Structure formats: structure tokens, C-alpha cells
Amino acid sequence: MRRLGLAASILLALAACGGGSGGSSSTGGDPVRTGGAGRDPARLYPDFADRDPHDWDGRAPRSYPVHGLDVSRWQKGINWTAAHRAGISFAFIKATEGVEELDPMFRTHWEAAAAAGVPRAGYHFFYFCAPADEQARWFIANVPPASGSLPHVLDMEWNPHSPTCTKRPDGAVVRAEARTFLDILERHYGRRPIIYTSIDFWEDTGIGRLPRTQFWLRSVADHPRERYPGQRWAFWQYTGTGVVPGVPGGVDINVFAGSAAAWATFSK
């Protein structure tokens, strides 16, 4: 528990919503030398190409040292070793949804990422028509504890296209359900899960007010500090159309908010 407390402290110190100097848009496919205050100008950071590149104002994704993927059934044939060599340092892998769906590619991605030495976590897509405790038990039934795992993830966003559930509970209900899910997984795995969310869900529900919670934020058109004012974050999903060696087609790419040293502690 002492190690977990240290990791959380480092994240709170480094995963600020602002910070960092500007960088140019990510259009290349190779690591680049990135300077700026607080960063080693000689250090190589990943700079992945993008099928729909964005001209970033302010601090760009390429100025962060630690990048990773999130994947699900829609990504097949990944060469995890090639992705790892290209600069992919972690993977969030869809595991479950609701109380009865297991992503058909979960076990393939889970085992292959581990074999390539890529730290990984599972994520659960929350279903607003089933109790949080039942969903937590479904996740636990399908995602075994494993050495080298990152904190798992609760994905909370509106799903207006669901064929079975388009409910939009108010913020108090959402936050209570999230807390139940996080508490159950923390007791089982020993690390408190991260919450992934989108701009509209964050604005509608006040999910960012949850205590003792780290956030993974989607923001593909601007830095999170502009889209989530005042919100601290641990991970930033900056594109859904990234190009990564070893990954067929476009893919979601994310950065970790902290330094390489902070990542070494967090990912143990």
C-alpha cells in the first residue's frame, strides 16, 4: 500500500490539467527530440503519425514521454512487439460491458501485450441499466489479477446509440454508481481504478468531483486544460486516428501526464 500511495502522490503532482510549453502537431512517424522547460532536450519522445492530424495550440502530445494504446474488438492482428519498439509503453484493453458482454478480443490482446512486455489494464464500459455492483463482479469474473497490470479502468460516457439502454441518470446517481464500482475493484485488485470519460459526460455529471480518483480524459481537438478546466488528469486520449507501427488501421493513442520517472513508479 505504501508503493500505491507514492504513485498516487506523484500523479497528483504531475498530472496537472495545465503545464508544459508548446509543441508542433504530430505528423511524423519517428521519435523526435523534444525540448521545453523541465524536459531533457536530448531525450527521444514518441511522435506518431495520424490519419487526421491536428495542429495543436499549446502543449502537444509529442511533448509527453509516455504514450500508449487503447484497443478492443475493432483492432485485430496487432504486432505488439513492433508497437512496443515504436514507443508504445502501455495498453488499455476493453474487457467487459454491462453484466454479460466480454469483448471477444480481450484475451488475445491481454496475453499478446503481456508477452511483448507492454504493461496493460482492462477497461469496463459502464451500462446504465444494470447495478454497479453486478457490473463490477462481471469484470472481476473475466479479468484475472496479473503481475505487471496497471490500475483497471471504468469507462463512463453516454451511449445514445445503445439498442437496449439510453438512460442518462443525474450526476448524483452516476457518481454513486461509479464509487460503488471503484470500491469493489479496489478491494479485489489492490489498486483503485481510473475513470475514462468524455467532455459532455464530464460536464453533465460532475464526475470529476469524485475523491481519490484518477482520470483518463478524451480530448482530440485541444489540450485537456482547455476542455476540462481545473481537472487533474493521469491520461489523455488525444486521437482516435493514430498510426502506430504494428497496428493495422487507425487507433486511439494516449499519453501519461507525468515524466518517465513517474511512469516507472506508477507502472510497477
Determine the Cα–Cα distance for residues 143 and 241; give it in Å rounded to an integer: 27
Selecting among 40, 133, 157, 183, the annotated active-site residue is 157
* 3-state DSSP of 203-268: HHHCHHHCCCCCEEEECCCCCHHHHCCCCCCCEEEEEEEEECCCCCCCEEEEEECCCHHHHHHHCC
133 belongs to the catalytic site: no
Q: Is 155 a catalytic residue?
A: yes
Task: From 16, 93, 85, select the one nearest 48 (Cα to Cα).
Answer: 85
* 252 is annotated as an active-site residue: no
- Report the chain's C-alpha Rg in angstroms: 18
Q: Which of 47, 155, 177, 252 is catalytic?
A: 155
47, 50, 70, 103: the active-site residue? 70
Instruction: Provide the β-strand partners of residue 70.
Output: 92, 252
DSSP-assigned beta bridge partners for residue 93: 71, 122
Residues annotated as catalytic (active site), given as ranges: 70, 155, 157
